[in-house]
Structure 1
Amino acid sequence: MSGTRGTAACTDPPGLAELRALAPLHARAQGIPADRCRAVLSRVRSAHGEGPDAWPAVWSRAGDALAARGRHLDAVRHYALARFPHPDGPARERAQRLCVSSFDHWRSTRPDIGRAEIQPPGGTGRFTAWTAGLSRSAPRPLILVCGGIVSVKEQWAPLLARAAALGTAVAVTELPGVGENTLPYDTAAPAMLGALLDHLADRADVGRTHAVALSFGGHLALRAALTDPRITGVSTVGAPVRHFFRDAGQQARIPATTAHTLARLTGHPPADVLPALRDWALAPPELDRLAPLPVTYVAALRDEIVPLADAAALTRDPAARCRLLVVDDAHGAPDHLGRIRPLLLGSALRGLGVHPVRRTVLEAIAGLRRGGRGRVRT
């Protein structure tokens, strides 16, 4: 999630200018063409509210029109932007529901894509994952996928649709508080990944699990790997590790969208949320324990959210098995998707010991083609 700079102390929600700056990056990541994104944005007059020219209504109408024509996956992409950055009223809540139901329509003709609903023992909520490649008779190693604080699981449709080509099982889910996940986003949140592995243990070789987890999802996966040896590797882009949670100067520059979304997910006021997360930083002894874990980390030179020092923290130990790629880009490296998505999947496959897959196949599985658009039938 990248865009205009803001302040962690900002109490006002992100304005239309910031959302306009963010939208093309997230549209590109989901395979919405740039001209289509510009056309929808041209009709938006306000960032919030329930009016017909407000952000959620305009993007939702575009999704409604696609769904009416049977283009359910394209509708999913538009509903995902309609609920962006998070549901804050009836219009965005409707978009969130339609994002899930349209995805369900799309996957109804794909019997290999399943739905798992998990309620962790003693928990106060539940979460959902879309799955593919599961088998009781021949369980495969697992690629576990999780996005960041604004990323819904439905955006991983291309990966789910082509899981068979990978030779692995796939499960895609969401951070607590995002999408259908009603778990609290707190220091206990990483346990949800273990609960997901427990749920899939009879249909996947969860003892060989590689997490492809982006941004705050990467932080969640690294924390989970500290206590769950079934997570045998992590591939991530722009994951906060330590300095994001402790560098007040960096925190003062993050976009309002980041601060307000974290506030909603964690329950802290926007002005107080980042200081309240100080204890989420990985401590030096924890970083030492992660050193033997194979990690692929993509960092962006112009990341306005997560400092480069967080990538360096994972390489502080000379024995660390961290493969680091630095690109000239903003948070999430949206201008380098064609390089990074195959890199992350390739790292996962190597870590799991799965047969090599040609780059062209990895690009197709990642939902990429020239111009960054997906080739999954909608």
Structure 2
Amino acid sequence: MNDLTELKRFVVAHAISQGLPADHYAALLDRVTTDAGDEPGSWPYEWIRAGDEWDAAGQTALAAQYYTMGRFPYVDGPGRKRALARGLDAFDRWRRGVPGLEPVVVEVGGVPVRVWAAGLSAERPRPLLVMTGGIVSPKEQWGAVLPQIASFGMAGVVADLPGVGESPLRYGPDAWTLFPAILDALEGRARVSETYLLALSFSGHAAITAALRDPRVRGVVGNGPPIHDFFTDAAWQARVPKITRDTLAHLTGVPPEAVFAHVRDWALSDADLAALTVPLAAVTARRDEIIPRGDVERLKRHVRDLRLVEHDDVHGAPSHLAETRVWSLLAVQRMRPDADPEVIAALTAALEAARAGAGR
């Protein structure tokens, strides 16, 4: 069972990232008195009830986000299972009204996995941007960005990290194989030889690994990726929030007390980082409670083409949402040799406006 105080604290960052109305979800969180079950006052019930209200009001995309929060951080019982199903259904209904946004089934190690895609074309294949969330955020949290990616002259995909959302895969050191599988599936409908990965939190680790092993990956943008010390530093691991440890345990299929021993060999070495030949851009947070500062310093020492933005914030930099979102999309465009100058100029202006609005 999750610690309710910790659960409420961590979900706020995700609610902010999705633009949920603060006055509405704050009242919702006040109604939640228990993590377990599916009755009034329980975590999934209250999020589902709010989602139903938005759905009835015709706000299908917003409803999908509320349902998705109802399965946060992972499905551990009937209530969160119901929330996940509602979220998937609402997102699917919303995307049917968005031209060009479609489901694609990808075979990953022989296992069918659904992703959402936009901008695919056999007649005019475009460079590809693949976006993935972390260990607690499924693809439906990020699917609304797909039309914007298509407007940049790219094909776009959002996918679940293995084990997250509806993904049937087990999260393990081979999580990186998700990316080559997506590229293989989209060959002919996108220019997969020109692929960029926008990978948030833990999926950044998988994305860097994929870039080391698949030359079709031409650049990686991350936000708070674990690199080395997260996997190896026992003193730091003792401070990692319970929700992070328990989610990792759920996704990897090991007991919480064994999870850090289980992931110890996943660390990227200094030699791995030095061997990275494509650009890496990353958002980092000085008060990150999940990723140790040593991982950021390791990137600075060993990655040859590194572009960093550092915020005085916690993991994921939720208080710098507008700036982080624009900076990440701009970082992708600046990596592309054939990016539209007008797109870069527009994103640059948007970044300056976001920083001005934040008083930076």
Q: 1:174 to 1:359 in 2, by over 3 A?
A: farther
Pairwise mapping of residues 1-378 of structure 1 onto structure 2 (< 5 A)? 13-121=1-109, 123=110, 125-290=111-276, 292-317=277-302, 320-353=304-337, 354-356=339-341, 357=343
After TM superposition, give the deviation of residue 274 of structure 1 in Å. 1.2
What's the TM-score, normalizing by structure 1? 0.89
Larger relative contact order (CA 8 Å, sep ≥ 6):
1
Distance of 1:71 and 1:259 partners within structure 2: 34
Distance of 1:371 and 1:264 partners within structure 2: 39
Looking at secondary structure, tell me which structure has more helix per residue: 2
Aligned residues: 354
Distance of 1:129 and 1:363 partners within structure 2: 31
Q: 1:363 to 1:338 in 2, by over 3 A?
A: farther
- Computed over aligned residues only, the root mean square deviation of the Cα atoms, in angstroms, reads 2.1
Distance of 1:344 and 1:162 partners within structure 2: 13
Name stretches of at least 5 consecutive residues in structure 1 with no aligned partner: 1-12, 373-378
Question: 1:192-251 CA distances to partner (integer Å, 9 max, x unpaired)?
Answer: 110000001111001111100011010010011111011111111100011100011111
Distance of 1:199 and 1:86 partners within structure 2: 27
Q: 1:362 to 1:257 in 2, by over 3 A?
A: farther
AA aligned opposite 2:28: V
Question: 1:40-85 CA distances to partner (integer Å, 9 max, x unpaired)?
Answer: 1111111122222100000001111221222110101101110001
Q: 1:69 to 1:146 in 2, by over 3 A?
A: same
Would the aligned equivalents of 1:342 and 1:363 in 2 still touch at CA under 8 Å?
no
Identical residues among aligned pairs (%): 43
Name stretches of at least 5 consecutive residues in structure 2 with no aligned partner: none
After TM superposition, give the deviation of residue 324 of structure 1 in Å. 1.6
Would the aligned equivalents of 2:201 and 2:224 in 1 still touch at CA under 8 Å?
yes
Q: Secondary structure at the match of 1:112?
A: coil
AA aligned opposite 1:323: R
After TM superposition, give the deviation of residue 120 of structure 1 in Å. 2.3
Question: Would you identify which runs of 4 or more consecutive aligned residues in structure 1 move more than 6 Å?
Answer: 362-365
Distance of 1:191 and 1:246 partners within structure 2: 23
Q: Secondary structure at the match of 2:105?
A: strand
Q: Secondary structure at the match of 1:275?
A: helix
What's the TM-score, normalizing by structure 2? 0.94
Q: 1:70 to 1:359 in 2, by over 3 A?
A: farther
AA aligned opposite 2:293: L
After TM superposition, give the deviation of residue 158 of structure 1 in Å. 2.9
Question: 1:88-132 CA distances to partner (integer Å, 9 max, x unpaired)?
Answer: 1011001111111100110111131011111224x3x33221101
